[in-house]
Amino acid sequence: MDKLDLKKLAKELNLSPSSVSRALRDSHEVSRETKERVKALAAKWGFQPNPHASSLRQNKSKTIAVIIPEIQNNFFSQVLNGVEEIAKEKKYHVLIYLTHEDAERENEILNLLRNGRVDGIMISVSNTTIEYDHLEACRASGMPLVFFDRILEEVKVPRITSDDEEASFRATELLIKRGAKKIAFLSLSDSLSICKRRYAGYARALNKHQLTSYQKTVECDAVDSSNREKIHALLAGEERPDAIFAAVEKLAVNTYEVCKELELKIPSKLKVISFSNLSAAALFDPPLSTIIQPSYEIGKKATDVLFKLIEKKVLLPNDKRVALSSTIVERKSTSK
Amino acid sequence: MDKLDLKKLAKELNLSPSSVSRALRDSHEVSRETKERVKALAAKWGFQPNPHASSLRQNKSKTIAVIIPEIQNNFFSQVLNGVEEIAKEKKYHVLIYLTHEDAERENEILNLLRNGRVDGIMISVSNTTIEYDHLEACRASGMPLVFFDRILEEVKVPRITSDDEEASFRATELLIKRGAKKIAFLSLSDSLSICKRRYAGYARALNKHQLTSYQKTVECDAVDSSNREKIHALLAGEERPDAIFAAVEKLAVNTYEVCKELELKIPSKLKVISFSNLSAAALFDPPLSTIIQPSYEIGKKATDVLFKLIEKKVLLPNDKRVALSSTIVERKSTSK
DNA sequence: CTGTTAGCGCGTTCAA
DNA sequence: TTGAACGCGCTAACAG
């Protein structure tokens, strides 16, 4: 069983390679009969055209890249589900790259993708990304590029996010309604778009309710142990908050861990709400109130827009800047 | 800024394309000086060889495929972390495919991968996979192939798993030691390798402790709602078990949900233990005892072995059949 | 509708 | 150590 190629099929069928090629790709300029003969033999032999030859010739790879900070995160894995769904429909392949929240690695990955390996790129930037030359260069080169969730304002490409500011505002108001007066904000990075927007919503709610006398942010990072220390310091120190707004899921988990350690009761001593797509949040002790992002839809929409770019379709105004609605699910961690 | 290629570099440097090609790939048959000149310009211009041309010529893609049932699963996303780690070292790219537990889709994906798109494949089979022609054909074609976690006995390729039988035995003994007498087993599919092995460990423990008079299996699937119904029927019916062994994480979550609904107290009325790689299991109400698989290590080892296959290195006996140890973490859900 | 020709960009001959 | 020539497998352009 040697290597198959178009020529061998062509010889067997007494056709030229180009006809076989056309038939396999459903060209209109080939007879139905020929198409059927070709497809029958191709199926019988299990033949598929060599994708590299095809990519080289057509100058497209039928592949997209998804770059995310980490995979062990429900939000991103749900996004990937949406991406895969659309890619499958388009018969595209999906390459995945992890930055591990490292801007340098992110830069390297973008470099790897500069020479035609993929037809388009979707990225959620790392929390250490401040310089944006690599992304701007990518955009400028004409590579279809889309941001999702974590964006860079400076780089003018479509951005598919959720309504972070508004959802955060509502979540903070919920804490206030339940009696919180000193609400601390746990952030992943001051420079990260989602954290900025989430902070803005939090701050707006404090302003509205004249609770700005206590306005404290703890900037965390990707390392659980140091996050726990910072949260520990916050909760064991003077001027302890009576509520916590966690900008990302892992910080809520860290908060719960510290509360266990300190035997600080949630929600009586501390209310907690967090962005989270963890379905098991309802099983926590106590059940965690969450702001749930429409992750699957973000993945689908971002991929959709990416394909519009790839296919050089015109983008509608609401393709360029999409903010899908999050859902707040109140549970016991925020009750009075 | 038009397309770069070897020729343009060559012209600029007054070299032939072949010398440039050689220099970039660190061939020994090119002078150090030339190498440096070439690399300097390549770096300056941000040049990278077209991967499709290169793949076509060399007949290798520098890409591997990972096929998993679902991504929204801590085990698989941790595995991917390990895969990415090794692939990065090898300067390989990673394509990801989801079967959504559908054997037909699995078959299609394997077909997509038959003609050189990837140099190797890692797969954890779907829970509906019974026929194995597609995998056997893949193996027979010479494609490097490795199973991880969920395997098919019949297909003779390396398999990297965890010590399911032994870990399940120990977990079941733990339930027994804590007083359980009627232990039910929640399975994802009777035909799935991991479930068979986990069941075997469970059954062996029951045998050893002469508790076989109650030996009940509930076969679940990928749909949460129907799983909850089945578990509900089990827990609300006659001959309720006093403990549950969940073969996979999601079934433990479903069990907790049903217990909440039925107001059935864990662990006093029902003890629960489960395979799970969810770090937040410690925050559950009550904290869930878990059997933690070495997912990251499985990902690394499987990728490692896959690269040995790709590089045609000899496999050591303990590359062909690896069973890494799981860890049991006892928490409140199994206490007396 | 089908065949012929040429070339995508690279890496490997083989010759110098 | 370098260059010239060829071909990987496919498909676009052109011709019939």
Q: Is A95 strand, coil or helix?
A: strand
Q: Please state the CATH superfamily assignment of the domain spanning residues A164-293+328-334 in this structure.
A: Response regulator (3.40.50.2300)
Contact of A133 with chain B, judged by CB distance below 8 Å, is answered with no
Q: Strand pairing of B289-292 and B271-275?
A: parallel
Convert the pLDDT of each residue in B285-312 to its tens digit: 999 999 999 999 999 999 999 999 999 9
- Tens of pLDDT along chain A (336 residues)? 567 899 999 999 999 999 999 999 998 888 888 999 999 999 999 899 999 999 999 999 999 999 999 999 999 999 999 999 999 999 999 999 999 999 999 999 999 999 899 999 999 999 998 899 999 999 999 999 999 999 999 999 999 999 999 999 999 999 999 999 999 999 999 999 999 999 999 999 999 999 999 999 999 988 999 999 999 999 998 889 999 999 999 999 999 999 999 999 999 999 999 999 999 999 999 999 999 999 999 999 999 999 999 999 999 988 999 999 999 999 999 998
Q: What's the pLDDT at B253?
A: 96
Contact of A84 with chain B, judged by CB distance below 8 Å, is answered with yes
- Interface probe with B: pick from A115, A259, A289, A296, most Cβ of B within 10 Å: A115
The sheet carrying B216-219 orders its strands as B216-219, B183-187, B243-246, B271-275, B289-292, B327-329
As given in the structure block, the two tokens for residue A187 are 């952030």
Longest Cα separation, chain B: 86
The residue whose two tokens read 């508004």 is A166
Interface of A with B in 263-282 (CB under 8 A): 278-280, 282
Contact of A253 with chain B, judged by CB distance below 8 Å, is answered with yes
Q: Identity (one letter) of the amino acid at B228?
A: R
Pick B52's closest partner by Cβ from A56, A260, A279. Answer: A56
Closest protein CA to C1' of nucleotide D3, residue: B16
What is the spatial distance, in angstroms and rounded to an integer, between the CA atom of A57 and the C1' atom of D13?
Answer: 13
Residues of A in contact with B227 (CB under 8 A): none
The DSSP string of B254-320 is: HHHHHHHHHTPPTTTT-EEEEE---GGGGGBSSPPEEEE--HHHHHHHHHHHHHHHHTTPPPPHHHH
Measure in Å the smallest separation between the Cα of A116 and chain B Cα atoms.
Answer: 6
Quote the CA–CA distance of A175 and A283 in Å, as a whole number.
20
Is the separation of the CB atoms in A288 and A252 below 8 Å?
Answer: yes
Is the separation of the CB atoms in A185 and A219 below 8 Å?
Answer: no
Is the separation of the CB atoms in B140 and B83 below 8 Å?
Answer: no
As given in the structure block, the two tokens for residue B289 are 């005892």
Q: Which nucleotide is nearest to B28 (CA to C1')?
A: D1
Q: Identity (one letter) of the amino acid at B118?
A: V
Residues of A in contact with B280 (CB under 8 A): 253, 256, 278, 280, 284
Closest protein CA to C1' of nucleotide C8, residue: A57
Closest protein CA to C1' of nucleotide D5, residue: B18
Helix (H) or strand (E) holding B18: helix B17-24
Domain B62-162+295-326 grouped into CATH 1.10.3720.10: no
Chain A to chain B Cβ contacts (< 8 Å): 130
Is the separation of the CB atoms in B200 and B211 below 8 Å?
Answer: no
Taking residues B136-158, what's their average pLDDT? 96
Q: Is A143 strand, coil or helix?
A: coil
Measure in Å the smallest separation between the Cα of B71 and chain A Cα atoms.
Answer: 6
Question: Of A81-85, A176-180, B202-206, B314-318, which range is least confident?
Answer: B314-318
Can you say whether the dihedral through the CA atoms of A190, A193, A199, A204 is positive or negative? positive
What is the spatial distance, in angstroms and rounded to an integer, between the CA atom of B18 and the C1' atom of D5?
Answer: 11
